[in-house]
Every structure is written in structure tokens, then in C-alpha cells.
Chains A and B, each alone.
Chain A
Amino acid sequence: MSGRLFTREYAHWLARWEVLLIVIIAALLWLGTRLSPVFLSAQNFSNLTVGEMEIAIIAVAMTLIIIAGEIDLSVESMAGLASAVLGFLWAAGVPLSIGIPLVLGMGILGGLLNGILVMRAGLPSLVVTLGTLALFRGLASVVLGPRAISNFPAEFTAFGFGNVPGTAVPWPVVVFALLAAIVGLALHRTWFGRQVFAVGKNQATARYSGVPVVRLKTGLFMLSGLLAALAGVILTSRLSSARSDAGTGMTLAVVTAVLLGGVNIFGGSGTISGVVLAVFTLAVLQNALRLADVSTELQSISVGLLLIVSVVVPNLARQLAHILQRARAERNPTRGAPERVPPYTPA
């Protein structure tokens, strides 16, 4: 009996979504090595990860928001607004040591606005953040206009473009790793994380169980605004250029990474480690395709198919499993329908 228990537990671990992603990454690494002789180099991995870091950082907050049953579409515009305001302040003579905290504070305020509109006014987050998506981008254009500010100090641009001295690890990766670790621990190891999952599974039940739903979700939107603004700062640093259209199109990439990471779009389940792996999967896939000189169209088709398959296949499998289960239950009523069987209690 105990032998079987071990196998089952082991099999269950093997069947985790993260393991699937690791297998995909391994397959991509193998294919990438075969496709291009220069694929497997430290500098290439440094390049391919740093390009995804803004998306990855925003995805950390988006994971929590989607698990809690909401969505924040305004993130790319908040990143653009952060870039524009940072550039505007710098051009106006405000040092970055003041400009950056100001911009991050603005991100929190933008998130608070989203949170208030969703939680107090009771509007769906899809609608609210679609509105602020346009609003923040509009504000960014007002602040900076068509200008691009680019005379940032070398220390600032070195942060976005440079590596930690002596390694091939880009600075933005360090920021992301820290964030993912902190948020991952908070989500999977603390009461806060359990509240996020509870709200996403069933908001009414969570509220009756004493979860401060309004405060929790507003806080998540503020975190999302903060990380979007941080991504805007890092983007500005990496490109040494502040523009009002920075980050355009990033929201879809963020949502793609989160869903590929196995987070349930309807809320209630998901892991940070899954999303981290998904970000890496997408980065490796696109880099391998680019190095193999695959056309841009085929690249986006590959990413689209990967996402669809990752969402559709488990659903189809679940339905198939249901049918099989029911058929089995009809054949042998004692074995089927586990949910109706009382929980096992040791004698």
C-alpha cells in the first residue's frame, strides 16, 4: 500500500503544470541548440531574458490579480506614463533620485484609481482598466508629447542595459528575481496568499469568512500600478529613451505569460513559479525563432498556438476525463464519482 502511495504522489508531482513547462523549455533549448550554433551562450541568454523583464515584472502582479478573479489591462499605459513622466521630470531638471520615487508613487495612485473604480463603484475590472488603458496613455502623450527624452546619465542607462559586474546577469533580472521570490512566498506561504486564492475561488464565501475583499483587491491593483511604473522605469533605462508610447502592446504579452503559466483566467488557482517558467518559455521560444531567421509572422503564430494549446488542451482533457469517469461509474458504481464518496478517514 505504501509503495503505491509513493508512486501516486510522485506521479502527481510529475504532472504539475510547472513540470510541463520545464519539459517544453528543455525541448526548446535542445531545438535552439540544433537551430543555431550561437544559441547556447551566456550573452545570448542574458539578451533573451533582459528583453522580457518588463513583461515579467508586470506579470508578477498580474498573476495575483487574475488569481483574485480580476484583470488589469491598464498596465502598459501605466508603464508608458511612468516613462513619459520620468523623462519630463528629468528634462525639467529633477534628479532621478527624486523622479523615480515620484513615478513609482504615481503608479500606486493609478492602481488606487483602478481599485476604487472596481471595488467602490462596483464596475467590472475589464471595463475600468480598459478605460484607464486609454486614460494613462492619453496623459502620457499630454505630458511628453511627441518628444523623446534621452540624455539620461550613464549610470541610469547602465542599470537597464548592463550586467551585474563579473556575470552575464542583467540588473533587471535581479530585480525580477527578488520580486518573484517575495511575491511568490507571500502568495504561497502566507495568510495573505490564502486570502487571494479564497477571493478568486468564491468572493462571497471569502467575504463571509472575514476576508477584507475590498481592501485586498484594491491593494492588488495598487501593487499592479507600482510594478507597471517600475517596468516603465526599467524600460526607459534599458532603451535610454523616455517616450509616451513606451510599452505599447505589453499588456497582451503579460496576460499571455500569466495564462501560459497555468493561472486560471477565471481566478482561484495559479502559481508564481508557473508564470516565471512561462516568461522564460516565451523568451526562449522567440529568441530561438529569431536566431533561426524565422519570419516575424511565424513567430507570432507559434506564440499564439502555444497559448491556445496550453489553455485548450487541459480543458479538453478534463472533459474527456469526465466522460470516461462517468462511463466507468456506470460500469462499476462503487468506483465512480469520487466527489460523492465521504472522505477517507483512517480507522
Chain B
Amino acid sequence: MQFDVNRSEPKTRLWQRAVAVTASLGLAATALLPTTVGATPAAQGALNVAFLPKAVNNPYFDTAANGAKKAASELGGQFKQVGPSEATGAAQVQFIQDLTTQKVSAIGVSAADPNAIAPALRAARGAGIKIVGYDSSPAEGAYDVFVNQADTQGIGEALVQMACDEAPDCAGDIAILSATSTATNQNAWIAVMQQTLQQAQYSGLNLVDTVYGNDDDQTSQQQAQGLLQAHPNLAVIVSPTSVGIASAAKVLEDTGNAGTVQLTGLGTPNSLKAYVKDGTIKEFALWNVSNLGYLTYYVAAKLVAGEITGAPGQTFSVPNLGDYTIGDKSTIVLGPPQVFKADNIDQFDF
């Protein structure tokens, strides 16, 4: 009896832990159960392309995914989009490894960090998976073909020209609100902008600052606010990223600077329609994002079928888009950028 009394403490702990075991198991089961339905493995040899954007829940990448879905239905292939919630190379590596384990036939990838994902992509290629870069190029040698949305020079020049259009008399302080400081495409455009600004006709424009909003709404808004505070004479903010330009537009409206500080850059028509209609943004540009996803899927399909290998000089044609020639560094270019203004924005729905 005395012994029992002494030993009663473990008894209660056992009790607690038994509850914990049951509850946790129940939780694990519920968390996993609804997914059983979706887990139908692809048939062997079928065209099965996965898109891995820098991050999910980004309207830009969702639009590209819609284009890819259209291509998938035309070609009778499978499509899925997976990705991390935060745009980091480390997070993308895990997805690449899992897609390799799943043996998809091709991966369309927008590199959050071109070098960080290169070893994982090379391992995927070693396993026979075709890699098509889109939007932001992985490191050379880590992809079969890179689908460039627009050539870097054209975009950089268009951004400077729009800043010149918007700044009164093409003169004044301009600042850049970019995405992450290591994004390949952003940095390439910014480099072209800096070169273009050296030209005589842009001598009135003065690039005073480049800040990074990490393609995150909150950070981008803080950075835009910081620009307004740090540079009271700012004439134009150029934001070559869809998250950045929408965040900057919101900040300009909230702080009553809409109209005094101009805003331009790259963004999707649907996310900026309201700001174009009320005059916060007069013009901005973008390539056709839906077509980017569409073309990327077609390139993946042609690589899987063996119609192309990615060698420079190879040519192929894609329905609705036309003929393409694979260029230097196994790159193809989608087409020239499209400028959106109040009079044409309603024609676009993406």
C-alpha cells in the first residue's frame, strides 16, 4: 500500500502522455488524410511538367501557371505548380529534390537564387529530368533551355524611357524599388538602366537610390515609404517587380503623394488597373506573362519528346506564338515588352 502511494506520480504522467499520443496521432492523421485523394501517381512515360516559381501565391506566377495549364491541355500533359512560401534558394532546393524523387518529366523553374539551386538542378538533370528556366535564370549548365520574358536590354531601356516620360521635363531624382538583392533579372535590368541613364538625352535624370522589398508586400511598402522620407524631391519611383509596384502605388495613395511622385515599372494589368484609372500610375510595362508560362510548357514538352536538346541554333515553332530560335546560352526570348496605359489596359486580363 505504501509502495502504491509512492509510485502514484508516474501513473498521472502516463495518463497525460497517453492523451498526448492519441491527440497528436489524430492530428497527424487529419493533417494528411484529405491529401490521399490527390496523390494519384502519373502514368509512366506521360508528359508531367512541374512549375517551381520563386514563391507561391504570387499573382505573376499564377498567371504564368495559367498559360502553362492551357499548353498542358493542348498537349494532353499533366501540370502542377509547387513552391515555397518564401522566395529563398534553400527552400527551392527541397522542392527540386522532391520533384526529382517523384520523377516528373520536366521542371519549369524561376530561380530565387541561381547558384544555390544549381547543384540540385544538375542532380535532377542527371536523373533524366528536363529543366526549363523561366522568369529568372538558374546558373548556366543547370538548365536545358532558359525562356527569357524579354531581352534585358529592351526592358532596361523601356524602364528608363518610362521614367523619362513621367518625370517633368525628363528631369529629377528617380529611385528603384527592386525585389531581392540577388534576383538575376532584377539586377540585370538595373545594370542596363544605369548604363542607359548615362546617355545624353537622360542627363536630367538622377538615380538616387535602389532599395529591395524582397517581393514581400509589407517590406516593399516600408521601403517605398523610406524612399519618400529619404528623398523629399523624388520625381519617379521605378519598380520593376509586380509586388513592388503595387506596394509603392498603395503607399503613394496612403501618404497623399499620388500625382506628385510618379510611379512606373513592371506589373500585371489586373493588379494595377485601379491605380491606372485613378492616375497614380500613368504607364507601366510587362511581357505577356500568360504566354511566358505557355511557351515554357511547350519548350519543356519539346525537350521531353526529344524534338530539341537546347543547343544554340535549333529552331521550333509554338502554336499562337510563332517561330523561335535557341540563342546564346540556350536562351530564347518571348518577345518585346507591352506598355500598358489607361487607354489599353482593359484589353488585358491577367
| A→B interface (CB under 8 Å) | 1, 5, 8, 11-12, 14-17, 20, 23-24, 27-28, 31, 34-38, 41, 43-44, 47, 51, 145-148, 150, 157, 161, 235, 238-241, 243, 245-246, 248-249, 285-298, 300-302, 305-306, 309-310, 313-314, 316-318, 320-321, 324-325, 334-335, 338, 341, 343-344
Contacts and interface: CB of A to CB of B under 8 A. Distances in A.
A240 B121 CA distance: 13
The 3 tightest CB contacts between A and B, nearest first, are A146-B181, A317-B16, A150-B115
Contacts of B13: 12, 15, 321
Contacts of A290: 82, 94-95, 98
Contacts of A335: 4-5, 8
B15 A321 contact: yes
Given A148-B113, A240-B115, A321-B12, A8 B28 contact: no
Contact of B116 (A239, A306, A341): A239
A235 B90 contact: yes
A298 B20 CA distance: 22
B28 A24 contact: yes
A315 B112 CA distance: 41
In this complex, the member of A43, A301, A317, A344 whose beta carbon has the largest number of chain B beta carbons within 10 angstroms is A317
Nearest to B122: A161
A47 B97 contact: yes
Interface of B: 2-21, 23-25, 27-29, 31-32, 35-36, 38-39, 41, 56-57, 80, 82-86, 88-90, 93-95, 97-98, 100-103, 113-120, 123, 139, 180-182, 187, 212
Contacts of B19: 313-314, 316-317, 320
Contact of B20 (A12, A289, A313): A313
Q: Of residues A16, A47, A145, A246, which shows the largest number of chain B Cβ atoms within 10 Å of its Cβ?
A: A47
Given A292-B38, A318-B12, 4 more contacts: A148-B116, A238-B119, A249-B86, A300-B85
B118 A240 contact: yes
A245 B9 CA distance: 48
B101 A41 contact: yes
B13 to A, nearest CB: 6
Given A150-B115, A295-B56, A341-B5, A34 B27 contact: no
Contact of B119 (A146, A157, A235, A306): A157
A306 B28 contact: yes
A296 B56 contact: yes
A338 B12 CA distance: 11
21 contacts: A14-B14, A31-B29, A146-B182, A161-B120, A239-B119, A240-B118, A241-B113, A241-B116, A243-B182, A285-B28, A290-B94, A290-B98, A292-B36, A293-B38, A295-B56, A313-B23, A314-B17, A325-B12, A334-B5, A338-B8, A338-B9
The listed residue with most A CB atoms (<10 A of its CB), out of B17, B25, B182, B187, is B17
A103 to B, nearest CB: 18
A51 B182 contact: no
A43 B101 contact: yes
A301 B114 CA distance: 29
A286 B15 CA distance: 29
Given A24-B25, A296-B84, A1 B3 contact: yes
B101 A47 contact: yes
B35 A35 contact: yes
A8 to B, nearest CB: 6
Given A12-B10, A36-B39, A321-B16, A240 B116 contact: yes
Counting chain B CB atoms within 10 Å of each CB, which of A24, A161, A290, A344 scores highest? A290
A15 B17 contact: yes
Contacts of A249: 86, 88
A23 B28 CA distance: 11
A56 to B, nearest CB: 14
Contacts of B123: 161
A35 B36 contact: yes
Contact of B28 (A28, A235, A238, A316): A28
A43 B99 CA distance: 12
A21 to B, nearest CB: 9
B25 A241 contact: no
A291 B14 contact: no
Given A23-B21, A24-B24, A243-B182, A8 B7 contact: yes
A343 B101 contact: no
Contacts of A295: 56
B113 A289 contact: no
A38 B103 contact: yes
Contacts of A148: 113-116, 182
Given A243-B113, A310-B20, A294 B2 contact: no
A31 B28 contact: yes
A263 B250 CA distance: 44
A44 B12 CA distance: 40
A235 B93 CA distance: 12
Contact of B39 (A28, A287, A293): A293
B115 to A, nearest CB: 4
Contact of B94 (A1, A16, A51): A51
